[in-house]
Chains A and B, each alone.
Chain A
Amino acid sequence: MRTIPFLIICLAVGAAVFAGAIASGNDYLFFAGYVVMQYIVLATAWNILGGYCGYVNFGTAGFFGIGAYVTVAIHQWHPLPIPLLVLIGGVVSAVIGYGMGYLTLRLRGAFFAIATLALAVVLETLVVNWDYVGGSRGAYIVRPEAIAPFGSYIRYMFMIMMLLAVAALTVARLVERSRLGYGLATIRDDELAAEAAGVPTLRLKLIATTISGALMGMAGAPFPYYIGYLQPDSTFGFDYAVNAIAMSLIGGTTSWVGPLIGAVLLGSLQQLATVTISSAVNLLIVGLLLVFFVIVAPNGILGLIHKYWQHKSDDFVGRRRVDLEAAAPAPAADGAPGAPP
């Protein structure tokens, strides 16, 4: 399928969801749906670096927070329309994503993950000490009651976040099927071999970090208007990172569909639990589901589907069927004992 038809289908699905929510007559659906859409963007963004390229980023909250606090800073100066704020948030976090990538992408595995975690902490510390955006007291942003032609403001925000989700999925799908996607897959599999095959690994990783960071920042930009009271502690909270990772892993990391499935599933479950039980159950759900999936389906729901398909037809071989065992790192090149002549 080409990109344009894909985009049209996405927009049609989005319009249907939007119409359905309006038909229900319950504005709470928009509040809950906003969060689910936000997680589609975050998980998809995470997956571009974490899934396609194999670099686990724990700094999701950092980028999300940049987007949110750029909005706060701009709001303090002069309120701008949200779409514009999304763009600005995206640009700023893209720049920070590039910078972070440049500083950390020479690290691998756990070291890279720790560095990204540190990024979120550094950014939070900066914001806490920046009085203009409220510092540790937090910042209040009063969102307008209504906006034409949507009626209530939350419908407008839901719409924006949904368009952002469509954009994120389209970008992820484009990346996946392009030369860039192939290159990222080789980096995930074996970086040395990728270099030897002519893949400019550092450059591709920087591109992935920049795209991923930009999307995360864009997801964060409307957040102050949604939440009303923004506090550094929760904005840079670990939840975003854990959720984005969990959603991608549960859905499946090798394709754009995975984070979508994971975010819709986990995001809806969390929203349901928040209403019916308590908001504290959220992370418990994530934890239990993660344990379940690690044991039962280490390649996520997509992995399960592929397995099922393989049983159906043995000669079907997916292009990106990844097995955790097969993806285990190869031993070092020079460790092999060769027979002496």
Chain B
Amino acid sequence: MSTTSNAPKKNGIVEWIDYRLPIFTFMNHELREYPTPKNLNYWWNFGSLAGIVLVVMILSGIFLAMNYTAHVDYAFVSVERIMRDVNYGWLLRYIHMNGASMFFLVVYIHIFRGLYYGSYKPPREILWWLGLVILILMMATAFLGYVLPWGQMSFWGATVITNLFSAIPLVGEPIVTWLWGGFSVDNPTLNRFFSLHYLLPFVIVGVVMLHLVALHTHGSNNPLGIDTKKNPKDSIPFHPYYTVKDMFGLGVFLVIYAGFVFFAPNFFGEPVNYVPANPLQTPSEIVPEWYLLPFYAILRSVPDKLAGVIAMFGAIFILFLLPWLDSSKVRSATFRPIYKQLFWIFLADCLVLGWCGAQHPEGAPLLIGRLATAYYFLHFIVLLPLVSKFEKPRPLPESISTPVLKTEKA
């Protein structure tokens, strides 16, 4: 049986299929031979991690949906039935609940890696856009999913977020009524949210495919940010080098993920969401999940409702313009002394915004939130264009092989 294990695989059936539908050639190309820069560090693990979390979310979600009832009278109880009476239902739900937080954690690291190493620069602008589309879809999906258990925060979060659309002049109120399917967040709202929460992940899968097509067209960026096509020695086949490296990263990630699922499953949650939704009683504090807090802080920093909504959406949409706001030819922050500082300040700014989003919007947190919001936009609109014009980057290496050998000891 195993005598031919070293010979190139020749399997009649595989060849028959491949001649007609070249999926095996395709997989060989994109998952085995796929030339990858040899110097990718562990920050490059987070793309494949995000893909794996997406699969985990879809699988756990499908099984949860088999036991969930999308009706205002039964939603909360059906979730508790999953927790108490469905075999390993608690495991499914905690995997899904914490999976949402893990997904955002992984994707935010993935995005900041892109920011640091200039992965949005030519020729990867569309790759960057597709990633942002995935982020927006993820936020929508997460918000819709958070409503489904129909706890207090589900209900009031849905009320607050859908009401944002009422800020649109003239058509705002009709739009909100249309979104709700009635005159308040009620059963029709819950039903459509469930339907959309089931739909959007598959849309995400589609955009992820496009994201991968765009990625594989020009290949991964790398920590030096230089093109690796010139020197064939700079690239290595994806398998086995990055399959095994990604698997190691996955193992570390799963330990952390399992730690939350099994030992602190409600760490990221709000206790008040274990109180069934009550339209007559507003919770003392309405806060979104942690991954939306920076945007929530921006929303609440602006005194005018419409302007706040515009600022919040603007905070995401401005990222689409990043490839042009930052016009520096050098990708990696390693060779950009000033941009490197800006990057860390910007990261700190986002964390500060996240903290502000969790505070009551008055006094010091409001003031800090406003300053952090102002800086967020200042970073993109003023600082980045200026820095990319006037900064003197350090000299770039010729190829990956040169600095890799030189800086080995450093």
Chain B binds chain A: no
Q: List the interface of chain B (C-beta within 8 A of A).
A: none
